[in-house]
Structure 1
Amino acid sequence: MIINPKEKIDEILHSDASNYLETSERLALKNILEKDTISELDSDNLDKIFQKYKKFIKN
């Protein structure tokens, strides 16, 4: 299932993961939200953050 990047960010920010995000991860998420289109690097960073905190995200 492909999830929209903004939906992924919402899942992260509305879960317990938001309590554990590092400053650089918060900035990366903020930058992605502010862009109309995201780069491949941003997409890769989002995937890494999502994988790191997926245990905090409720299904």
Structure 2
Amino acid sequence: MARTDLRPVVKLRSTAGTGYTYVTRKNRRNDPDRLVLRKYDPLAGRHVEFREDR
């Protein structure tokens, strides 16, 4: 039995250009657009925006 795609797994890629990624799940009904979160990038050493990568 397949899982529904209501909560797909998405990769969040750093906008600082370091290539660091986070993996999370999102609810498509609440967030139909691309997800943007401000999280810590250990390679940059600061908080930066992470955008959903497809």
Using the size of structure 1 for normalisation, the TM-score is 0.18
Using the size of structure 2 for normalisation, the TM-score is 0.19
Structure number with larger C-alpha Rg: 2
Q: 1 or 2 for the larger relative contact order (CA 8 Å, sep ≥6)?
A: 1
More strand by share: 2
